[in-house]
Structure 1
Amino acid sequence: MSNTRPVLHFIAGKVGAGKTTLARKLALEVPAVLICEDQWIASLGGEVKELRDYVHATTRCRKLMVPHLRDILRVGASVVLDFAGNTPRDRAWVRGIFEAAGADHVLHVLDVPETLCLERLRQRNAERPEGLFWGEVSEALFHEVTKYYVPPTEAEGFRIVRHDVTTNEE
């Protein structure tokens, strides 16, 4: 067994910023166990059509995942958490997990212009790529969700890696 601590990677970024794409890439590169919130919520059932549906579903999913995530980290496996770390409350939830497990962490922040996020959202809605667990996300829902996005600051005390994305090629 390695002497290095397992790492919990998590991601902050608006809808359409590329959180799931980055999570999949990180899981292969690290390597790490990939845990995708959207996949778990879809498997647990219940339709998500508006923000309050998502809030209910994510609350249920996160309660279920805490002991599972701690156990994975405690046995020495790193994890890429494809759960949005978009608010101080979200990030505090993740902090509780990695601290309880004695793991390290990296918060990946996707700095993507809103216009590019919307372009990607339109493309995703049109193409319905494999691995997409929700139906169409409207621009109205994008704007509603984006109101709650709070970029992390150094004062929160996370090890932050910023990913600046300016084109749809990345």
Structure 2
Amino acid sequence: MIATTMIHLLFGPQGAGKSTLARQLADQRQGVRFSIDDWMGELFAPDMPQPMNLPWILARVQRCEQRIWAVATDVVRRGGTAVLDVGCMQVADRARYAALASAQGLALRPHFVTAPLAVRRQRVLQRNQTRGDTFAFEVTPGMFTTMEGHFEPPDAAELAGCAVTETA
């Protein structure tokens, strides 16, 4: 393992505060932040089919994640810190990142970010209106509901290895 460098992997449901925490971690550690929302917003949001098509979105998320991982690991190998705000909605996604880091001898610290459903829904609606620092593209109520059903919460074993942040 590389002791002085680290990949911080943030995960949690939409609106939990992942992007805000990612910015804080990157600032505190002078790290490079990689946000899937930024990548998806710039590269694919203008072409997003209506109504939302989850397989279309997930295929593009996968492409972005592959490129993010390649650049993030390069940052870490060069002595830096990478903060990945890539969602990791499912257990298999998180396990895949852990396996990749392990296979490459890179330290990985998972961070589970969570908040109550009503708080998260309100944050997303507010973010759509204010279009502040963490806004990348509009998340419609339908998109929120679809992605909510897609998220797999961590079990006790997965949580044991995580930094947990509950926002309110």
Please state which band the TM-score falls in when normalised by the shorter chain.
Answer: 0.7 to 0.9
122, 125, 130: which one aligns with 1:119: 122
The answer to whether the aligner puts 1:78 opposite 2:81 as a matched pair is yes
Contact 1:70 1:97 in 2 (8 A): no
In structure 1, the residue matched to 2:13 is 14
In the aligned structure 2, how far is the partner of 1:67 from the partner of 1:25?
Answer: 22
Q: 1:13 to 1:81 in 2, by over 3 A?
A: same
CA separation of 1:138/1:157 partners in 2, compared to 1, >3 Å: closer, same or farther?
closer
Aligned residue for 1:84, secondary structure, equals coil
> Separation in 2 of the partners of 1:158 and 1:6?
22
Residue of 103, 106, 114 corresponding to 1:103: 106
In the other structure, the counterpart of 1:87 is: 90
Q: 1:146 aligns with which of 138, 141, 148?
A: 148
The two structures have a TM-score, normalised by structure 1, of 0.83
Determine if the alignment matches structure 1 residue 28 to structure 2 residue 27. Answer: yes
Contact 1:87 1:150 in 2 (8 A): yes
Give unmatched runs, 5+ long, in structure 1: none
Give the 3-state SS of the residue equivalent to 2:154 in structure 1.
Answer: coil
CA offset digits 1:31-90 (Å, max 9, x no partner):
311112222233434533523332121111123233322222222211100101221121
* 2:132 alignment partner in structure 1: 129
4+ residue segments displaced more than 4 Å: none
Q: Return the alpha-carbon distance in structure 2 between the equivalents of residues 160 and 89 of structure 1.
A: 15
CA contact (8 A) 1:66 1:97 kept: no
The residue type paired with residue 85 of structure 2 is: D
Unaligned runs of 5+ in 2: none
With normalisation by structure 2, the TM-score equals 0.84
Equivalent positions of 1:46-57 (< 5 A) are: 47-48=47-48, 50=52, 51-57=54-60
Rounded Cα–Cα distance in structure 1 between residues aligned with 2:75 and 2:160: 21
